Amino acid sequence: MGHEVWMRLALDQAAQAGDDVPVGAVVVKDGTVLAAAHNRRESDGAPFAHAELLAMQQAARLLGTRRLTGCTLYVTLEPCPMCAGALVMSGIDRCVFGAFDRQYGCCGSVYALPMDPHFSHRVEVIGGVLEDEAGALLDAFFARQRASR
């Protein structure tokens, strides 16, 4: 299957984020979805409840290992520094994201942490998959936030 199919599943997750920034993520291995999550920072009152971290944690539990070798993370927004670091530390093979994050994105926009040659593991990164759809979800969310102030 193409990247768009898996990104649509991540977009479905993002749409479930409620009062959180609409970011969704899925972890795929060998054509099978291992985990899916959306941001839960606000609902859980947890600063680390990013969609990427939640999905990778679920996948690791399912696989019975902290190493996500052979897996791809699909996420609707370019990972932040924390999540980009988690990509490296998990040993995941690939990260495919939708919208670029010019403020915090650490998979190419602000910094390219997963590709930094100083680390012993580098992650393949593909950005801009269904970027318009992912960006539209984010734009609508922030427009609602501004209107409610």
SS3 track for 42-66: HHHCCCCCCHHHHHHHHHHHHHCCC
Instruction: Give me the count of residues in the chain.
Output: 149
Catalytic annotation on 52? yes
The catalytic residue among 4, 52, 131, 133 is: 52
Count the neighbouring beta carbons within 10 Å of the beta carbon of residue 99.
25
Catalytic residue numbers, as ranges:
52
